[in-house]
Amino acid sequence: MKPKIYINSISSITAQSRDKEESPVSYYKSIFPAISPNYKDYIKPMTLRRMSKAIKMGISAAKMALQEAEIENPDAIITGTGEGCKQDTEKFLENLIDQDEQLVTPTSFIQSTHNTVGGQIALNLGCKNYNLTYTQNSASLESALFDTYLQFLETSGKKSVLVGGVDELSEKITGFRNLDGQLKTGKIHNLDLFKEASAGTITSEGAHFFILSTEKSGNCYAEFKDISIKNSIEPEQINAEVENFLHKNNLGIDAIDAIVLGKNGDNRYDYYYSILQDSLFKNTLQLGYKHLVGDYDTASGFAVYLACKILKSGSISSVMKLNTLRPGKIKNILIYNQYLGSDHSLILLSAV
Amino acid sequence: MNKGVAVTGMGIISAIGNNIEENYRSLLASNSGIGCSEFLKTTHTNIPVAEIKIANETLSKHLNLSKNHSFTRAALLGSLAAKEAIEQAGIKIDDETGFISGTSVGGMDATENHFKEFVAGKADNKRFIRSQHPGFTTEKMAEYFGITGFVSTISTACSSGANAIMLGARMIKAGKLKRVIVGGTDCLTKFTLNGFNALMILSNNPCRAFDEHRNGLNLGEGAAYLVLEAEDILNGKPVLGRLKGYGNANDAFHQTASSENGEGAYLAMQEAIKSAGITPGEIDYINAHGTATKNNDLSESRAIQRIFEAGIPDFSSTKAFTGHSLAAAGALEAVYSLLSLSKQEIYPNLNFSQAMPETGLKPVTEVKQKKLNLVLSNSFGFGGNCTSLIFAKDEA
């Protein structure tokens, strides 16, 4: 018997401020950083100094989610990160190349592994429970959510799982995206991302953490219904894939009140989204978000965060709307994401 | 009754052989793969490593890859090992076939080779830009085998491969997949060699796991994969062994060092034993993590003593054969554990002479024939990530 899974708390650190949804921040570059919260509220100043932004964002977002759910020690910590701790990786790599492998110090190596954030959260909380880190490009957070989902399907006795995604920018490695066509060239304004008919996208960084639980809290945002990950899908199969996923959940297209799409303005791959927009979801409210927070491997955390807020509050910021439909009460939201035509994911959330 | 998830195929490439048969022969003959680096272009030529003596070009030819492919060395090694596993299992890749791979540094070999070019804005080798990120290596392998369904990568440092095997079994048990290829791959890189060297935990000699005079690990490279299949599709197919239990815990002690009493290791082994539905006394042999660092071996020994109060089972570390192949270690050792079960023998812990005074524990130091039903395999990593797997002989 499949238990009900609830999202009891959410947190988000991105290039947008959390309180000003209707007046988003404009960026005129293809790479822009996340707005830092006051890290000292979450991390001891002494340890803060040595931490890269991914670690700082990850621990802070994790703590925000834990505090909101009033949980001190989750039964599992599951982290997704596509590119891991790039800042420390870059530092160590440059050091060893510049110094021809001589007199290299270990600090940045220690903090370069992909499981650093997950490990640091465990260390910070003193949490000895299940701990895993996934790193599957744009399906990294989704892999972590999938594991979380499995945890509850199994009779493992786990009640609350801290799950989230984090990715950071680094000076050089992120910049390499300019060389292989991942980023837009020339003049760009993030808020006009969907008006562009060109290759590449814009990128940023951020962290999103959630408490998923089999126990519904008074603060609960949404029910986590299902998740699917597929490495590759032929464009002509995307409709069937979505229908199949909904069918497994005994839902028709009509039951979906809004679809959140990972459109990123890259005209080489956005057709996966346009196919859905023009066919199955023609009469459904369509939402986008990557013009606000950029595209990075765990940017879809922002989609989950927004969907949770919409399902709880019922209000939708106009800056997200890709069409002009006005739905009634929002009950079911579908989230679809892919990057460069790979690592497709579907997430289904419902109002509680 | 927990039968465990069936293993129907396995494949491996390591410094002691390019396939299962070669690895087996080396284990039996106590032939270590530790030596000097020839293919890894490092200035630290005095540090011994367990290198696979095949160039990337040759590996690419074995896989019939086109000239301008973007396979990293980890993807090349991984594909060869997975190919052997898939062929043995005789599976057809379909929608319900998943692929879960563990890797710690993924395509770092390509990144460190091309980093300077990329910084200078040279785009000739731009196909390797994304290779730095572990998911890329997994995706190349998925592409090679035509796996389009569930594909994911686990990166929990040195426990990645073991965690990938655990996740695969969980997905089959939950009915999410019919068959899944699970394991890990990592190649030697300057990045990891210099990292471990800076941490001063590399030995200048072949490693001596669990010995009083152990003085560090040897880095290695390799890949190993298992094919796991759901019960209802076996159709009488030979089963090599079963994954009966698994446990995952975090030491929550230090980013790189293990706690003195091995709390994370203890919890992982405890959970594995519980999930297998057995008692500690039923474990016949432990393939230990045993990296031969001062810290790991003491911590793991203490955890083993705490779990097996009534008597310590036979144990050995096979790191002196293969070096520490990071994310691949748990997968390599899963293969060795399954070999132990099928051949009913324990492979030795090389280079051991004197037990550490703190515990007095002595590993098995020569090939030992023994009735084996249950084997425990440990993998621990940076970030406090600890995972234990329990393999069982098939009771068909």
Judged by a CB distance cut-off of 8 A, whether residue B49 touches chain A is: no
- Bridge-based pairing state of the strands A206-213 and A160-167: antiparallel
B127's tokens: 């196909």
The Cα–Cα gap between A238 and A16 comes to: 31
The Cα–Cα gap between A150 and A171 comes to: 37
What is the value of ipTM here, to two decimals? 0.97
φ/ψ of residue A141, rounded to 5: -65, -40
Strand locations in A130-203 (E): 130-134, 160-167
Q: Which of B114, B187, B324, B386 is catalytic?
A: B324
Q: Does B324 qualify as catalytic in the annotation?
A: yes
pLDDT at position B396 is 57
Nearest-by-CA chain A residue for B139: A231
The Cα–Cα gap between A348 and A57 comes to: 26
- pLDDT class for A155, splitting at 50, 70, 90? confident
Q: How many CA atoms lie within 13 A of A322 on its CB side?
A: 28
Number of CB atoms found within 10 A of residue A15's CB: 21
B94's tokens: 């379909």
Torsion of CA A166, A167, A168, A172, to 10 degrees: 160
Nearest-by-CA chain B residue for A111: B255
- pLDDT class for B24, splitting at 50, 70, 90? very high
| Nearest-CB residue to A150 (from B130, B139, B174) | B174
* Among candidate residues B227, B156, B182, the one with its CA nearest the CA of residue A144: B156
Nearest-by-CA chain B residue for A126: B252
Which helix (H) or strand (E) segment holds residue A147: the answer is helix A140-153
Which helix (H) or strand (E) segment holds residue B135: the answer is helix B134-145
The Cα–Cα gap between B302 and B226 comes to: 30
Cβ atoms of A43 and A143 closer than 8 Å: no
Q: Which of B158, B187, B207, B386 is catalytic?
A: B158
* Among candidate residues A111, A105, A54, A107, the one with its CA nearest the CA of residue A80: A54
Number of CB atoms found within 10 A of residue A180's CB: 16
| Nearest-CB residue to A129 (from B127, B149, B249) | B249
Pick the residue of B133, B167, B258 with the most A CBs within 10 A to test the interface with A by mutation: B133
Mean pLDDT of all residues belonging to chain A: 96
The Cα–Cα gap between B58 and B80 comes to: 12
| Nearest-CB residue to A230 (from B149, B176, B252) | B149
pLDDT tens track for B229-262: 999 999 999 999 999 999 999 999 998 899 999 9
| Nearest-CB residue to A128 (from B104, B151, B249) | B249
pLDDT tens track for B255-289: 889 999 999 999 999 999 999 999 999 999 999 99
CA B392 and chain centroid, separation: 18
- pLDDT class for A100, splitting at 50, 70, 90? very high
- pLDDT class for B395, splitting at 50, 70, 90? confident
Is A156 or B322 the better-scoring residue by pLDDT?
B322
Q: Which residue has the tokens 């959630």?
A: A210
Q: Does B158 qualify as catalytic in the annotation?
A: yes
pLDDT at position B22 is 98
Q: Does B133 qualify as catalytic in the annotation?
A: no
Tell me the DSSP string of A324-347: ----SS--EEEEEEEETTEEEEEE
Judged by a CB distance cut-off of 8 A, whether residue B163 touches chain A is: yes
Cβ atoms of B363 and B317 closer than 8 Å: yes
Domain extent listing, chain B = 5-233, 243-392
Whether the pLDDT of residue A166 is over 90: the answer is: yes
φ/ψ of residue A207, rounded to 5: -145, 140
Chain A closest CA to B368's CA: distance in Å?
Answer: 35
Amino acid at B327: A
The CATH homologous superfamily of the domain defined by B5-233: Thiolase/Chalcone synthase (3.40.47.10)
Chain A closest CA to B30's CA: distance in Å?
Answer: 33
pLDDT tens track for A89-99: 999 999 999 99
Judged by a CB distance cut-off of 8 A, whether residue B162 touches chain A is: no
> Is A130 exposed, middle or buried (CB count within 10 Å of its CB: 0-12, 13-18, 19+)?
buried
Cβ atoms of A134 and A79 closer than 8 Å: yes
Class of domain B243-392 (CATH, top level)? alpha beta
Three-state DSSP class for A234? coil
The Cα–Cα gap between B273 and B271 comes to: 5
pLDDT tens track for B328-385: 999 999 999 999 999 999 999 999 999 999 999 999 999 999 999 999 999 999 999 9
Domains and CATH numbers, chain A: 6-213 (3.40.47.10), 225-350 (3.40.47.10)
Give the pTM: 0.98
Nearest-by-CA chain B residue for A82: B133
pLDDT (mean) for B116-124: 97
Which residues does residue B368 pair with via DSSP β-bridges, in sequence order? B346
Three-state DSSP class for B292? coil
One fold for B5-233 and B243-392: yes
